[in-house]
Structure 1
Amino acid sequence: MNRVRLLVLNAALGPLDYRVPDGMVVKPGSVVRAPLGPREIFGIVWDEGRLDANSVPDSKLRPIFGVLPVPPLPDELRRLVEWTADYYCASPAAVARMVLSSGGALKGPATMTEYRLSGAEPERMTAQREQAMDRLQGEQATLRELAALTGVSEGVLRGLVNQGVLEPVAVDCDRPFPRADSLYAVPVLNPEQQAVADRFIAAVSDGGFTPFLLDGVTGSGKTEVYFEAMAAALERGKQVLVLLPEIALTEAFLKRFEDRFGAAPVTWHSSLKSTERRRAWRAIASGEAQVVVGARSALFLPYAKLGLIVVDEAHEISFKQDDGVRYNARDVAIMRGRFAKIPVVLASATPALESLQMAESGVYQRVELSARYGGAQLPAISVVDLRNDPPPRGRWLAPKLVEQLELRAERGEQSLLFLNRRGYAPLTLCRHCGYRFQCPNCSAWLVEHRFSQRLACHHCGHETPPPPACPECGTQDCLVACGPGVERIADEVAELLPEARVAVATSDTLNTPERASDFIAMAQAKQIDVIVGTQLVTKGFHFPELTLVGVVDADLGLEGGDLRAAERTYQQIAQVAGRAGRGTKPGEVLIQTRHPDAPVITALAAGDRDAFYAAETEARREAGAPPFGRWAAIIVSSEDEAEARDAARAIGGKRPELPDIAILGPAPAPLALLRGRYRYRLLVNARRTAQLQDVIREWLGAFQLPNSIRVSVDIDPYSFV
């Protein structure tokens, strides 16, 4: 090859052509350094004829500088980049950035210097030095990472280095990970589990693309079953990818994995330090990493010999990326399996309707685990009608639920209260003038967080301390918290059960792997009596002594304009109900609601999942909604409201008139202001036969809009705000 086309990581540039110098060997997938003006950029050598670009004469081509010391990206990964960009109407460059997500990994083998406490004391102790030393116990990292961890400047840490308080440690950046042993602790499965495991093992052994839907009730041993498929892949020298929806779930999974295989897997998520990301990326690309457990972005890593993909809790909306490339990791995992010709297992106790339909049509192989492992029984579920049995004024827990909490406390058993609302209260207002605290950057109320003494926006991250007086009328001590969040429920439990040990489990309190690990250890050691949590606690946790689950507000998820609201509510409540009675003691679930006759509530109370899904399927079919039709959202935004509105109207005015596509809007988005940008939305509803992406690309491609206006396309949207 003396001429190559590079996929560079800048979407505005598009693919670029370069000359290959004599003697340099490149192939499709090679990662190279190339000039761009006075700068040097990275690019991926792409297959001939697969990317369109402006033609440049041979005489004007600039030479590539060199090939980076990493293996070429596999063919199936390049096909995945193309498919993801095409399906989700994204630029290939934006997808490629997820592939080359560790710049340090591209520089080849290296050692680096990290620092740790030496045990010496500084000559002079200051408040910042004391803070740094307190937070550095057991830590080792670069100075920059230690500065972020401790909250002090790098200058303070360098002073500690100069005084010998921090000592340097030379670290091999590519030191190998511990090896997993497929025979370390082989479990004894019951006949139903063994039959499912045998199907997975056969698929791994035979090779080829086989998508499975593992549909098992909570506590049925889904993890143990797909562990056997992982063991089969390891025995054949293949790599395994396990996708989890939440970082907080990773710690519980890592413990179970280590118990089964004798070593921890490689992890991949946003909380990794840059050195950890580098080490993991290179181990994955070389094939040395055996099992990778990660968040959705782990799908785009360059596995050398991938043999199995598992998507745990595959129904979770956390697998949908809502900014950047707006992809659904569940669906991209299926496509990666197709391109790599390997099995893919989607595991869930409450599968997404789309997955069930694919199984119904024979595209996925559905395998079921119908009973809990070890004789444990599914919990009894009952409904508390808040119209007839309301909580006392100023309280949020109905008398019946309080009675059951007290009973569990007497027995020494654990309880879990579920409310999918972080913080103390969703709204704070002035009782004197009615002023409401709103985010300055978003059209959303500020949520009070009493643990951290702040008012916070859950959309943009804006925070401010609660003021002593109303900013509108100046009245002192007049602020009122309206509505409950998990912190308020925890306070109520503490008042009702003063001896109880209460823990709040949310993304605020379990926001690091260490905190999540501590929470799990305390709960399993029965050092927590009542857990109050959000959707974070609905899945993945196994606490044998937890016998009561109370759903504080079952109607919360049914509010708003979410077209999947009923399905998501069913999944959340069914999942959190599955935390009860997982040991030898029977479990009970109480669902507080003001709408006991709602189809989703009656289905939960009756334990009739099939009836709920059948009704929901029929409603979707009539509405032309997924999986029977397709949606796409077009979001137009600008820092100037009039500019956003006019651009949205211009786009809406040129909408294509096609018989198999309906376009609604434009209209202000429910969250009309987000991060300082005004937003308008159009919703596209298309039949399955429509060439939806081609229509959208041609429609939007006709517009030349100012740089101040952003137009985003969301294929198969999950969020409608």
Structure 2
Amino acid sequence: MSVPAQHGLLRVVLPVPLRREFDYLCPLPLPAKGCRVTVPFGNRTLVALVLAHPEHSDVPPARLKTVTAVLDRRPILAEAELHLLAWAARYYLHAPGEVYFQALPTLLRKGEAACYRSMDYWHLLDPNTEAPAQAIKQRQALLLLRQGPLTAGELDARGISGAVLQAMARKQLIEKKEQLPDHIDWRALMGIAQEDKPRLGTEQALAVSLLHRAAGFSPFLLEGITGSGKTEVYLQAMEPVLQAGNQVLVLVPEIGLTPQTIARFQRRFRVPVSTLHSGMSERERLDAWLACRDGSTAVVIGTRSALLTPFQRLGLIIIDEEHDTSFKQQDGFRYHARDMALLRAQQLNIPIILGSATPSFESLHNAAAGKYRLLTLSQRPGTATVARHQLLDSKHVQLHAGLSPQLIQLMTQELADGNQVMLFLNRRGYAPALLCHDCGWLADCERCDAHYTWHKHRGRLHCHHCDHQRPVPPRCPHCGSDQLLGTGLGTEQVEQALAGLFPQYATIRIDRDNTRRKGSFQQHLEGIRAGKYQILIGTQMLAKGHHFPDVTLVAMLDVDGALFASDFRATERFAQLYIQVAGRAGRASKPGRVVLQTHHPDHALLQDLANQGYRHFARGALQERQAALLPPFSFQALFRVQATKAHYCQDFLQQLAGQLSPGLPPAVLCIGPMSAQMERKAGQYRYQLLLQASSRRELASTCRQALALIESLPAARKVRWSLDIDPVEIW
């Protein structure tokens, strides 16, 4: 039976976890590839994306269903994006529909029109109006609005809160009007603020010169110590790209940690600069996505998912802090934005810059193999110097909330000299466990193999693994004693101790607990730079990329556990964290000191990092990886399984391994099944099976074989499983 008259065939993908495409009938004329349609699927109607117009279908025409509506007159994804996503679905062996729909904003996935909506914009009532000198935020808002109307979201991204805008409106300095986004041709009006450009150092000038001469696909690894001016290299590398009318994509690990960078890009280039991140509303994301696709924005600064955004004329990709593990998606479609960015640059034949003070071992390996051009920045510009490193032996020393007498003395000296001190502790809360002093009872999470963290200020026990919370009990539920004590160290406890040790100095704590309110993190950072606080205590949020010119002493507390972790990547991550934290000290004209308190000052890793630096450590660690045939000298895929009972996971993985192992090629190693380090999390037992191979092709073939086997395994119905290609975390 043939296809009905006046109809054609469409091959589409659907947002379902099935590793296949689907054929539908559609009335002529057929929508182009990259358009959306709605189709019947079971008892639902779903949005689908058109991939092809096949001449024939394996499904008999009588069984083919018909498209119910065509949503787009022109493709919302161009051929280049479709090609990239097709590669990703094949490489990561993931359901193609979930891959393609990952590239669409939520509103487009729901079937909304791919068009802009009118929004509320703030306008100046009088361009010559001035705000009072003491109203710094209002003056900043007026300066921004003189360049043109902006939405509340755009102003908030630049540090102007809604409260500031409302106060200005009451003073009749500004007013709100509803209008469609004004998409001017930025190429005709583009300008570069020359007065903002500092004089380049020798290494910076050489790097910029090589980047300006780059033609076609050219991957560069920019390895620059913290404070060496990598951002300035990015900015000057972007100039000729923007002057040629092309767009630039800048990927950052977390948008909330880089407000300084965004503001710097906006000051330098008089072009539309957009952000793309999960903190935006669905409407804001769609409008920014459309502006990228239509070419009406010049620079896009975004997190991992921004890579999948369509661009009209993308001319350069920059990945800042390329080593950061947040570039790897850890659920659903588990792609690595850095690796996919390299493929996108290759497909578009454009340069790409990977920047970091602590490059990933994969990138260092590729640079050593000649796949990337290595650019090095080993000096800080101007009078800034590299901080001195010091290891403090905390054995046989009386610690006060994790602080040794020697560290307290160093802090006293720096604070007396008018400097700021930063303490790093990657554990929030008051204490990581609550203990009964009389019977030894520990407050354990009922759903995880973990202790509750005690948050003393809120009077709560909080599991940081499953997010379950409960009040602190007044007495021990085991013996009835009221002698409940915290064990271990958290940022809240250190903050309390600092208030007693240094009452004359203001202390600020920066962690996820006290930065939940929108805009609070930015306010804290501004207070630090303004000198409002002298002592800073925080987690990783405080360690990444911030420029605090008055911080002269940085100390890391309670990090010994990282020296003995079971994950083979643990030493690499610790080294990166150590260098990143150390990089907050002495970034301006004041000399800096980095102190690490440890019970193991003679540990080879600490000695190597403190005395030789990251590059020397990485060289030795890569040799060890090569001897052990670990990545990047081999390739891995991980089957993760979870279920309500441990034996469900074990049965499933044993069945899978039992059927796979007899036919495994010599290049592939099957390891497991094995339980996760935390076997039970959020009420689910977790197990895994690791495949490792010296050949990427052999590994992919084995994974495809495993996926085919899973469909026939009886135990598969009792578990939730996933496949992670190139995992960066082993449970």
Shared fold by TM > 0.5?
yes
Deviation, 1:502, is 1.1
Encode CA deviations 1:203-222: one digit per residue, 9 max, x unaligned: 2xx3x211110011111110
Q: Distance in 2 between matches of 1:262 and 1:505?
A: 33
User: How far, CA to CA, are the matches of 2:274 and 2:116 in structure 1?
Assistant: 19
Corresponding residue to 2:441 among 435, 438, 448: 435
Aligned partner (choices 420, 423, 427) of residue 426 of structure 2:
420
Matched, 1:6 2:48: no
CA displacement at 1:12 relative to structure 2? 3.2
Residue equivalent to 2:338: 330
Alignment: residue pair count: 668
Q: Is the 2:579–2:614 Cα contact (8 Å) retained in structure 1?
A: no
Q: For the Cα contact (< 8 Å) 1:18–1:64, is it kept in 2?
A: no
Aligned position for 2:139 = none
Q: For 2:76, what is the secondary structure of its paired residue?
A: coil
Are 1:694 and 2:701 matched, yes or no? Answer: yes
Q: Does structure 1 conserve the Cα–Cα contact (< 8 Å) formed by 2:635 and 2:696? A: no
What one-letter code is carried by the residue in structure 2 that aligns with 1:685?
Answer: Q
Alpha-carbon distance, 1:108 to partner: 3.5
CA separation of 1:109/1:584 partners in 2, compared to 1, >3 Å: closer, same or farther? same
- 2:621 aligned residue (616, 619, 635): 616
**What runs of 5+ residues in structure 2 fail to find an aligned partner?**
1-6, 123-149, 154-160, 163-174
Does 2:542 correspond to 1:537?
Answer: yes
Contact (CA 8 Å) 1:178, 1:264: kept in 2 or not?
Answer: no
**Distance change >3 Å, CA 464–CA 224, structure 1 → 2:** same
In structure 2, give the amino acid aligned to 1:454: R
SS at structure 1 position matched to 2:342: helix
User: Structure 1, unaligned stretches of length 5 or more?
Assistant: 117-137, 142-148, 151-167
Aligned to 2:95: 91
Q: 1:319 aligns with which of 322, 327, 336?
A: 327
Q: Structure 1 residues 677 and 49, CA, compared in 2 at 3 Å: closer, same or farther?
A: farther
> Could you say which residue in structure 2 is the equivalent of 1:157?
none
1:528 aligns with 2:543: no
State yes or no: 1:675 paired with 2:675: no
| 1:367-414: CA deviation from partner (whole Å, max 9, x where unpaired) | 1112101131100111101125x233x531111111111111101101
> Aligned residue for 2:131?
none
Closer/same/farther in 2, CA of residues 702 and 170 from structure 1, 3 Å limit: farther
Alignment counterpart, residue 189 of structure 1, candidates 181, 194, 200: 200
User: How far apart are 1:170 and its partner, in Å?
Assistant: 7.1
Q: 2:305 and 2:527 mapped to 1: Cα distance?
A: 30
Which deviations, in whole Å up to 9, do the C-alpha atoms of 1:260-298 show, x marking residues without a partner?
Answer: 225672111111112211211221222212211111111
- Letter of the 1:220 partner, please give it: S
* 2:470 aligned to which of 464, 480, 483: 464
Counterpart AA for 1:184: A
1:279 has 2:287 as partner: yes
Q: Does 1:289 align with 2:289?
A: no
Work out whether 1:662 is the aligned partner of 2:672: no
Q: Is the 8 A contact 2:119 2:180 kept in 1?
A: no
Q: Which residue of 2 aligns with 1:637?
A: 642
Give the conservation status (yes or no) of the 8 Å contact 1:173–1:279: no
Structure-2-length-normalised TM-score? 0.86
Q: Secondary structure of 1:2's partner?
A: strand
Kindly provide the CA deviation profile for residues 467-487 of structure 1, in whole angstroms up to 9, marking residues without a partner as x.
Answer: 222233333x33211111122
Deviation, 1:542, is 0.5
Q: Deviations over 1:552-605 (max 9, x none)?
A: 123232233221111111111111111110111100111111112222201122
CA distance in 2, matches of 1:21, 1:412: 75
| Counterpart residue identity of residue 709, structure 2 | A
1:493–1:356 CA distance, 2 compared to 1 (3 A)? same
Per the alignment, residue 59 of structure 2 pairs with 55
Higher mean Cα deviation, 364-373 or 254-263? 254-263
| Aligned residues: CA RMSD | 2.8
Q: What's the offset of the Cα at 1:357?
A: 0.6
Call closer, same or farther: CA 1:20–1:295 in 2, change over 3 Å. same
Match of 1:129 in 2: none
1:80 aligns with 2:88: no
Deviations 1:400-443 (A, max 9, x none): 11111111110110111111222221111222322222222222
2:263 match = 255
Q: Which amino acid aligns with 1:385?
A: D
Distance in 1 separating the partners of 2:272 and 2:480: 56
Distance 2:543 2:12 in 1: 45
Tell me if the contact between 1:544 and 1:582 (Cα under 8 Å) persists in the aligned partners.
Answer: yes
Give CA deviations for 1:172-215 in whole Å, capped at 9, x if unaligned: 46454996944124513233212211222332xx3x21111001
- Contact 1:387 / 1:594 at 8 angstroms: preserved in 2? yes
**1:146-161 to 2 correspondence within 5 Å?**
none
Matches within 5 A, 1:262-661: 262=270, 265-387=273-395, 390-392=397-399, 395-475=401-481, 477-511=482-516, 514-656=519-661, 657-661=664-668
1:219 to 227, 234, 244: 227
Provide the C-alpha distance between the structure 1 equivalents of 2:696 and 2:648, rounded to a whole number of angstroms.
35
Amino acid at match of 2:699: L
Distance 1:311 1:70, change over 3 A: farther
Relative to structure 1, the CA distance from residue 287 to residue 489 in structure 2 (aligned partners, 3 Å threshold; closer, same or farther) is same
Higher mean displacement: 628-637 or 582-591: 628-637
Tell me whether 446-455 or 331-340 shows the greater mean CA deviation. 446-455
| CA 1:418–1:80: 2 relative to 1, 3 Å | same
**Structure 1 CA distance for aligned equivalents of residues 639 and 448 of structure 2:** 19
The answer for the alignment partner of 2:722 in structure 1 is 712
Amino acid across the alignment from 2:209: D
More displaced 10-residue stretch of structure 1: 346-355 or 191-200? 191-200
Q: CA deviation at 1:315?
A: 0.9
Q: Which amino acid aligns with 2:668?
A: I
Say which of 232, 238, 241 aligns to 1:233. Answer: 241
Amino acid at match of 1:266: S
Which of 212, 216, 229 is 1:201 aligned to? 212
1:104-134 C-alpha deviation (Å, 9 max, x unpaired):
5841335468799xxxxxxxxxxxxxxxxxx
Change (3 A) 1:559 1:182: farther
Name the SS of the counterpart of 1:374 in structure 2.
coil
Q: TM-score, normalised by structure 1?
A: 0.87
Q: Which moved more, 1:59-68 or 1:249-258?
A: 59-68
The correspondence for 1:30, drawn from 29, 35, 38, is 35
SS of match in other structure, 1:691: helix
Q: Which amino acid aligns with 2:520?
A: R
**Residue 675 (structure 1) shift:** 2.3
1:449-473: CA deviation from partner (whole Å, max 9, x where unpaired): 2344322222222122222222333
User: Is the alpha carbon distance of 1:140 and 1:267 closer, same or farther for their aligned partners in structure 2, counting shifts above 3 Å?
Assistant: closer
Structure 1 letter corresponding to 2:208: A
Identity %: 35
